[in-house]
Structure 1
Amino acid sequence: MGKTGPSKGAYKTEEAQPYLERLRVLRARLVGDATHLADGALNRTGREAAGDLSKMPIHMADIGSDNYEQEFSLDLLAAEQATLAEVDSALARIESGEYGACVECGHRIKKSRLNAIPYTHYCIDCATKRDEESRG
């Protein structure tokens, strides 16, 4: 919405504290997962990961499997990085006093939703509306 200053729907600092801790733990896990996925996808083939370091030719199907696994890992990495960006955004909203307020309507996001998705930007009504608009 582009508001300046705390939103009326935002949680007070002490109310946001449990989410701050959860977001920090989630962020640390995502960074570790992303690093592991990047190392696996970009640095080693399936044969190398299995310990086969020989230079003997391999079957074309093995190359296809390696390529598929690498592409799958890169897709997972992209998803992890997108979630990491959402977590960083939520941490910034806590810092600015905007956490817990829907960025669309400004109303308070219910704690049950934040417990499920602590990095969400939207209340359930606005999220549902956005989802319907993107499908139709």
Structure 2
Amino acid sequence: MTTWISTHGIGAIKDSTSSFSITADKGSALVKPTSPNELSGWIHFTIPSPPVNNPNLKVVSVDFSSQSATVDTVAIYLANLVKFKEEGLQKGQSFSLTIDSATAVYQGKGISVSVLVQFDSVASNLRFQSVGIQV
């Protein structure tokens, strides 16, 4: 049986170094740059804990749409340790990535998914619908 643990797009948290604007709308988050000098930055999502009998993380899925923006990196943190990272993605729409589940086993310390976004210009935007992990 496939189980997904996920959060809605409105769970988007901008990085402390970012000046992006995030607007919640109907369960999604619209992310926009606010400065032409800051067109790249991290957005973070907290993910609920998996079932106790199913701790292996198998797939990460980022559900979004964009206008002149891409997701370039996805990282999964268990507690404060990076357990999965995929760079150079340049994805302009929803995608999923397979995780080496031997390296990403939940041990009760919290899960977060961090997404590095790149905007082409200050007029660009990206709308997150959800972020999830299959266990």
TM-score using structure 1 length: 0.18
The structure carrying a bigger strand percent of its residues is 2
- Bigger Rg, structure 1 or 2: 1
